[in-house]
Amino acid sequence: MNNPKDHPVELEIIFRQASTPSAKPPLIFIHGAYVAAWCWDEFFLSYFASKGHDVYAFSLRGHGKSGGYSQAVWTSLNDYVEDLCHVVSQIDGDPIIVGHSMGGMVLQKYLEKNSCQSAILMASVPHEGLLGPSLSMAALHPLSFFSFQSTHYTGQNAFTPMVGQSALFHRDMHPADVQKYLSRMQSISTRAVHDMSWLSLPRKHNPHNVPMLVLAAENDALFSINSQRATAKANNADFDSFPDMSHAMMLEPDWQLVADKIVEWV
């Protein structure tokens, strides 16, 4: 997919065409921190294309194969929103937008000033930001907290398979899959972390009353189910949760339960 020159960076955009022509709206997927568009391409993109949707997953600037690495540490949350606006402008139709983790906060910020057909938050940064969850993780999961912080500030992947599985993945995920996914993790923007903690949180929550679904993982070590319920309430959204599910919902062994819920809801 081509990127017009008026966007400051070239974005990696993965496109999967609907398997059969339909009038269903396109889907845009926004990844979370430490990963890129590839996380959606493991299972979700082909699955939703088989359900009749044109699907797009893009890498935020400074992630994956997108440009912007030279300024990655200073990239703001609003820069990520600009990336989303650009992708939306390049597709036909009013999209359904899905955001996971940090991508969920990008979507909440986008909805302050923009609309879409519907929005889905998966294990999202809560509407109140990262500060509370970070303190909670430091107290309850100190090894995971240290690994996130070390990866963030050093730019080196600090996750061991044991800690990575505890922080992100279900206990039954095959160790080879855990290692495969952990090996692709990368550092993220310091500015964006600060923005999501206190500097640039949404001041208005879903002011255009976009239909929204918040999906929570009950074994999420990052964001508690109560924080996800509160985010749903703040955004006047529907809510559902998955027992025995961890943070990386689109990569979990039971990923199709999440995908099927989205299909049912939309």
Query: Amino acid letter at 36?
Result: A
Please check the confidence at residue 151 and state whether its pLDDT lies above 90: no
- Range among 9-23, 126-140, 153-167 with highest mean pLDDT value: 9-23
List the chain domain ranges.
13-128+190-265
Please check the confidence at residue 5 and state whether its pLDDT lies above 50: yes
Topology of domain 13-128+190-265, per CATH?
A: Rossmann fold (3.40.50)
Please check the confidence at residue 71 and state whether its pLDDT lies above 80: yes
C-alpha pair distances (Å), 232 with each of 74, 122, 155, 165, 210: 30, 11, 33, 27, 12
C-alpha pair distances (Å), 11 with each of 62, 83, 95, 99, 116: 9, 8, 18, 17, 21
Check residue 63 and report its DSSP letter. S
Please check the confidence at residue 201 and state whether its pLDDT lies above 60: yes
**Strands 55-58 vs 13-16: parallel, antiparallel or unpaired:** antiparallel
User: 29 or 190: whose pLDDT is higher?
Assistant: 29
Tell which residue, 219, 214, 209, 213, has the closest CA to residue 248: 219
Q: Residue 84 corresponds to which tokens in the numbers above?
A: 């989303």
Question: Quick one: pLDDT at residue 209?
Answer: 98
| pLDDT tens per residue across span 78-104 | 999 999 999 999 999 999 999 999 999
Question: Quick one: pLDDT at residue 139?
Answer: 83
What is the rounded distance in angstroms from the CA atom of residue 259 to the CA atom of residue 88? 21
Residue with tokens 């997108």: 66
Where is average pLDDT lowest: 86-90, 185-189, 234-238, 256-260? 185-189
Question: Quick one: pLDDT at residue 140?
Answer: 78
Average pLDDT over residues 256-264: 99
Please check the confidence at residue 237 and state whether its pLDDT lies above 50: yes
Please check the confidence at residue 254 and state whether its pLDDT lies above 70: yes
- Residue 246 near residue 32 (C-beta atoms within 8 A): no
Average pLDDT over residues 103-107: 99
| pLDDT tens per residue across span 38-59 | 999 999 999 999 999 999 999 9
% the chain with pLDDT above 90? 79
Average pLDDT over residues 100-119: 99
Tell which residue, 210, 209, 251, 26, has the closest CA to residue 122: 251
